[in-house]
Amino acid sequence: MFKNINILDEKDKRLRKISEEVTILSKEEKQLIKDIIKFLTYSQIEKLAEKYDLRPGMGLAFPQVAISKRVIIIVYEYEEGKFDNYVVINPKIISHSEELIAADTGEGCLSVNRDVEGHVPRFARVTVEGYDEDGNKIHIRSREELSIAFQHEIDHLNGILFYDRINKKKPFITDGSIRLI
Protein backbone atom coordinates (compact mmCIF):
# COMPACT_ATOMS: atom_id res chain seq x y z
CA MET A 1 0.00 0.00 0.00
CA PHE A 2 2.82 2.41 0.88
CA LYS A 3 5.53 0.95 -1.35
CA ASN A 4 6.87 4.38 -2.35
CA ILE A 5 7.55 5.33 1.27
CA ASN A 6 10.89 3.80 2.18
CA ILE A 7 12.02 5.28 5.45
CA LEU A 8 15.78 5.40 5.96
CA ASP A 9 17.25 3.81 9.06
CA GLU A 10 19.32 5.90 11.47
CA LYS A 11 22.51 4.19 10.26
CA ASP A 12 22.06 5.70 6.79
CA LYS A 13 24.51 8.59 6.39
CA ARG A 14 22.02 10.54 4.24
CA LEU A 15 20.09 11.36 7.42
CA ARG A 16 23.08 13.37 8.65
CA LYS A 17 23.25 15.70 5.63
CA ILE A 18 21.90 19.24 5.66
CA SER A 19 19.00 19.39 3.22
CA GLU A 20 18.75 21.77 0.27
CA GLU A 21 16.29 24.66 0.03
CA VAL A 22 13.33 23.89 -2.23
CA THR A 23 12.56 26.08 -5.21
CA ILE A 24 9.94 23.92 -6.89
CA LEU A 25 8.27 20.60 -6.07
CA SER A 26 7.92 18.01 -8.81
CA LYS A 27 4.62 16.28 -9.51
CA GLU A 28 6.11 13.13 -7.97
CA GLU A 29 7.13 14.99 -4.80
CA LYS A 30 3.63 16.47 -4.45
CA GLN A 31 2.18 12.96 -4.79
CA LEU A 32 4.68 11.68 -2.22
CA ILE A 33 3.46 14.36 0.22
CA LYS A 34 -0.14 13.11 -0.21
CA ASP A 35 1.03 9.53 0.33
CA ILE A 36 2.99 10.50 3.46
CA ILE A 37 -0.07 12.28 4.90
CA LYS A 38 -2.13 9.11 4.34
CA PHE A 39 0.66 6.95 5.81
CA LEU A 40 0.98 9.11 8.95
CA THR A 41 -2.80 9.30 9.39
CA TYR A 42 -3.20 5.53 9.06
CA SER A 43 -0.29 4.95 11.43
CA GLN A 44 -2.14 6.85 14.17
CA ILE A 45 -5.43 4.96 13.76
CA GLU A 46 -4.97 1.70 15.65
CA LYS A 47 -7.05 -0.56 13.34
CA LEU A 48 -5.34 0.75 10.20
CA ALA A 49 -1.89 0.67 11.79
CA GLU A 50 -2.41 -3.01 12.60
CA LYS A 51 -3.90 -3.82 9.19
CA TYR A 52 -0.95 -2.25 7.29
CA ASP A 53 1.71 -3.06 9.92
CA LEU A 54 2.65 0.60 10.53
CA ARG A 55 4.56 2.03 13.47
CA PRO A 56 2.76 5.11 14.81
CA GLY A 57 4.27 8.34 13.54
CA MET A 58 3.28 11.98 13.65
CA GLY A 59 5.78 13.45 11.21
CA LEU A 60 8.22 12.77 8.42
CA ALA A 61 10.85 14.94 6.79
CA PHE A 62 11.93 14.42 3.19
CA PRO A 63 15.47 13.37 4.23
CA GLN A 64 13.87 10.34 5.94
CA VAL A 65 12.63 9.14 2.53
CA ALA A 66 16.01 9.82 0.87
CA ILE A 67 15.13 13.23 -0.59
CA SER A 68 17.57 15.88 0.58
CA LYS A 69 15.08 18.76 0.42
CA ARG A 70 13.71 21.01 3.16
CA VAL A 71 10.16 19.64 3.39
CA ILE A 72 8.37 18.45 6.53
CA ILE A 73 4.98 16.82 6.94
CA ILE A 74 3.17 16.56 10.27
CA VAL A 75 -0.19 14.90 10.86
CA TYR A 76 -1.43 15.99 14.28
CA GLU A 77 -4.37 14.29 15.97
CA TYR A 78 -5.87 17.20 17.91
CA GLU A 79 -8.95 15.20 18.91
CA GLU A 80 -9.80 11.49 18.70
CA GLY A 81 -9.98 10.69 14.99
CA LYS A 82 -9.55 14.34 13.89
CA PHE A 83 -6.29 15.42 12.25
CA ASP A 84 -4.62 18.62 11.10
CA ASN A 85 -2.08 18.23 8.30
CA TYR A 86 0.94 20.49 8.10
CA VAL A 87 3.16 20.57 5.02
CA VAL A 88 5.91 23.16 5.30
CA ILE A 89 8.50 23.86 2.62
CA ASN A 90 11.77 25.50 3.77
CA PRO A 91 10.56 25.78 7.39
CA LYS A 92 12.34 28.07 9.85
CA ILE A 93 11.66 28.63 13.53
CA ILE A 94 11.32 32.41 13.74
CA SER A 95 10.43 32.65 17.43
CA HIS A 96 10.15 30.41 20.47
CA SER A 97 9.25 30.47 24.13
CA GLU A 98 11.76 30.63 26.94
CA GLU A 99 9.98 27.72 28.62
CA LEU A 100 11.35 24.27 27.87
CA ILE A 101 9.38 21.03 27.82
CA ALA A 102 10.08 17.38 27.08
CA ALA A 103 7.89 14.43 26.21
CA ASP A 104 7.59 12.49 29.47
CA THR A 105 8.02 9.13 27.74
CA GLY A 106 10.76 10.43 25.46
CA GLU A 107 10.64 10.89 21.69
CA GLY A 108 10.54 8.31 18.97
CA CYS A 109 11.33 8.44 15.28
CA LEU A 110 10.31 6.39 12.28
CA SER A 111 14.01 6.25 11.30
CA VAL A 112 15.06 4.92 14.72
CA ASN A 113 13.91 1.32 15.08
CA ARG A 114 14.80 0.95 18.74
CA ASP A 115 13.86 2.45 22.07
CA VAL A 116 16.01 5.40 23.14
CA GLU A 117 15.66 6.45 26.75
CA GLY A 118 15.97 10.03 27.89
CA HIS A 119 14.26 13.39 27.70
CA VAL A 120 14.74 15.75 24.77
CA PRO A 121 14.55 19.41 25.83
CA ARG A 122 12.38 21.42 23.41
CA PHE A 123 10.75 24.84 23.36
CA ALA A 124 7.17 24.77 24.68
CA ARG A 125 6.02 27.08 21.87
CA VAL A 126 7.45 27.83 18.45
CA THR A 127 6.40 29.90 15.48
CA VAL A 128 7.39 28.36 12.17
CA GLU A 129 7.58 30.24 8.90
CA GLY A 130 7.80 28.62 5.50
CA TYR A 131 5.78 27.96 2.37
CA ASP A 132 2.88 25.72 1.51
CA GLU A 133 2.87 23.43 -1.52
CA ASP A 134 1.64 26.27 -3.75
CA GLY A 135 4.46 28.63 -2.75
CA ASN A 136 2.36 30.79 -0.39
CA LYS A 137 4.16 32.07 2.71
CA ILE A 138 2.74 30.58 5.91
CA HIS A 139 3.17 31.11 9.66
CA ILE A 140 2.26 28.39 12.13
CA ARG A 141 2.15 28.90 15.88
CA SER A 142 2.43 25.67 17.80
CA ARG A 143 2.61 24.59 21.37
CA GLU A 144 3.28 21.54 23.49
CA GLU A 145 3.23 18.25 21.53
CA LEU A 146 2.87 19.95 18.13
CA SER A 147 5.79 22.26 18.98
CA ILE A 148 7.93 19.21 19.77
CA ALA A 149 6.95 17.66 16.42
CA PHE A 150 7.95 20.78 14.45
CA GLN A 151 11.33 20.97 16.20
CA HIS A 152 11.93 17.24 15.69
CA GLU A 153 11.15 17.37 11.95
CA ILE A 154 13.13 20.58 11.35
CA ASP A 155 16.09 18.90 13.09
CA HIS A 156 15.96 16.20 10.38
CA LEU A 157 16.53 18.90 7.75
CA ASN A 158 19.75 19.81 9.54
CA GLY A 159 21.04 16.24 9.95
CA ILE A 160 20.10 16.05 13.64
CA LEU A 161 18.39 13.04 15.22
CA PHE A 162 16.40 13.46 18.43
CA TYR A 163 18.81 11.46 20.57
CA ASP A 164 21.60 13.90 19.71
CA ARG A 165 19.79 16.33 22.03
CA ILE A 166 19.62 13.98 25.04
CA ASN A 167 22.12 14.88 27.74
CA LYS A 168 24.40 11.82 27.85
CA LYS A 169 25.48 12.44 31.46
CA LYS A 170 21.94 13.08 32.72
CA PRO A 171 19.41 11.66 30.23
CA PHE A 172 16.36 12.05 32.48
CA ILE A 173 15.27 15.47 33.67
CA THR A 174 14.08 15.26 37.25
CA ASP A 175 15.01 18.64 38.69
CA GLY A 176 11.91 20.51 37.48
CA SER A 177 13.90 22.83 35.19
CA ILE A 178 11.96 21.45 32.24
CA ARG A 179 8.26 20.66 32.31
CA LEU A 180 7.41 17.11 31.23
CA ILE A 181 4.29 16.69 29.13
Q: Is 129 a catalytic residue?
A: no
Number of residues assigned to the chain: 181
The C-alpha angle 106, 142, 58, rounded to 5 degrees, equals 45
Beta strands at 100-102 and 82-96: parallel, antiparallel or unpaired = unpaired
In single-letter form, the type of residue at position 35 comes to D
Question: How far is it, in rounded angstroms, from Cα 157 to Cα 71?
Answer: 8
Dihedral angle at the C-alpha atoms of 164, 118, 94, 56, nearest 10 degrees? Answer: 100
Catalytic residue among 20, 117, 129, 153: 153
**Contact criterion met (CB below 8 Å) for 109 and 130:** no
Cα–Cα distance between 108 and 131 in angstroms, integer? Answer: 26
Give the Cβ contact number of residue 103 at 10 Å.
18
With residue 38 as reference, give the H or E element that holds it.
Answer: helix 27-44
CA 126 to each of CA 10, 37, 40, 92, 172: distance values in angstroms, whole numbers, following the listed order: 26, 22, 22, 10, 23
Supply the residues annotated as catalytic.
153
